[in-house]
Amino acid sequence: MPRYHAMGELAPRDVVARSILSEMLSEGTDCQYLDLRHLPAEHMHERFPTISAICRGYGLDLASDLLPIAPAAHYCMGGVMTDTFGRTTLEGLYAVGEVACTGVHGANRLASNSLLEGLVFGLRLADGLAGTIAEQAIPSSRQAITIPVFDNLSREESLLSIELDQENILRMQREIRQVMWQYVSLQRDRQGLLEARHQLHNLRHRMLANGTARQNKQHIAVAWLETVNMLKVAELVIVASLQRRESRGSHWRLDYPTFDDTLAGCHFAFVPQGSSLTEGEHVTEGGAITVSDRVTEGDWVPEGGRKGAPLLYYEGNADTTQCMVGQQEEVIFHA
């Protein structure tokens, strides 16, 4: 690790993960090895009891054996857009914890994120629901880039109107994981991302072709719901990766290997087709609507006075403001 970063093993997660991958590729192996033999054995077993038990299950001793490891990909650092009280754009729906995108997450997955989310925003939501604090607008320096995703929501309805047997569901889930790992994991580029989107587009069609009409209209198997959700999240991660033409944290673009300072602190907010925001519409910083824009009455206004989710069109990204999910090529609409 000292060859890759001055902090060695304490380097940021994305650096450590890519360093391990680099060694694996250079050696043509499927793993590297973690060596804890220089540390007190009793302390290691006491400090990491769960990992120690897992290792024993595979015939390994945490403290005395070389442990085969491989990097994992943290695909999504965002989540459901909320304000500081856990409110989403859907009235009555709240999001707290790692599912939420509150603005405090960075571009790396950190172990402390869930603790902060649960303690701070969990309490704020509880106090808000109990009426002990006023849900007042609080100025925020948070920025969001609105990306209308012209994705026909009836596609999800079509998938949910059919059912697959357990074997087909598991195979589809494996294929989604494989595509995402191969093209959208630790290192990304435009060609690979477009290939991933193409393969998922074909997978969606195969799902429809292999499925049968759902007999019980009131019940959808949990495993099938999870599969449809996996596909949707995978498609959105790919779109976001194509959109974010820089490298930041776990999002590493081989074709854009440096930071774009204009994107610092910016989040992408996806708006599906059929929402109140139509093509070309955007809300500027502070909630002011441009002459050409129309936002329907009753749109939710979060902290900082922004309408929407919050919805902010970012001029620095004007040439790539909108994308199409599920197609082979990027579809760009100029604002």
Active-site amino acid positions: 13
Say whether 285 sits in a helix, a strand or coil: helix
- Cα-based distances in Å from 58 to 44, 51, 68, 111, 153: 17, 11, 11, 25, 44
> In 3D, which of 201, 210, 178 has the Cα closest to residue 326?
201
Q: How many CA atoms lie within 13 A of 257 on its CB side?
A: 4
* Residues paired with residue 145 on neighbouring β-strands, in sequence order: 268
Say whether 102 sits in a helix, a strand or coil: coil
Within the chain, residue ranges assigned H as helices are 13-27, 41-47, 49-57, 113-116, 122-130, 154-160, 166-183, 190-210, 222-243
For β-strands 143-149 and 100-101, DSSP reports them as unpaired
DSSP label at residue 288: P
Start-to-end CA distance of the chain, whole Å, equals 45
